[in-house]
Amino acid sequence: MTLLDGAYRIRNYQSKNHVVLRHRGDNLVACNGHFAEGDIWHVNCLNRVENNWKYHIQNYDKKYSATCDPKAREEGNVCARENLEGVPVPVWLIKKDDKGKPVTDQSVTYT
């Protein structure tokens, strides 16, 4: 599966929640309600190894990164944290949906 670098609206496949900024003013974001449908996020591919595509997801306007669990979970969409130029960043692994359908340019809201 190939997903091009670019700007996307990010929505959790299972919960249908959108990625939004937290209200505390920190540099993290969380998945939460429908009011974030207008937020746009940069999706940058970090690792172009077959079957191991990893992405850094960053807010277009605020430059904040989407958060992820620090422990990798095989069944989850989030892969792990990695370092970019010595700075730890959340890294996402975009996987096929529950029906085995890969994420495509037509379904980029499912992450």
Q: Is residue 50 part of a domain?
A: yes
Q: Can you give the residue range of the structural domain that contains 91?
A: 6-107
> Tens-digit pLDDT profile for the chain (111 aa)?
456 666 666 666 556 666 655 544 544 454 444 445 556 777 777 665 544 567 777 777 767 777 665 554 555 555 455 666 776 666 666 665 555 555 544 444 433
Q: Is residue 49 part of a domain?
A: yes
Q: Is residue 63 part of a domain?
A: yes
List, in sequence order, the alpha helices (H) in 1-111: none
Asked if 95 contacts 84 with a C-beta cutoff of 8 angstroms, the reply is no
Q: Cite the beta strand spans of the chain per DSSP E.
A: 6-8, 18-21, 28-32, 41-47, 54-59, 65-66, 78-84, 87-93
Q: How far is CA 12 from the centre of its chain?
A: 9
Q: Is residue 1 part of a domain?
A: no
- 37, HSE (Cβ side, Cα atoms, 13 Å): 3
Indicate the number of domains in the chain.
1
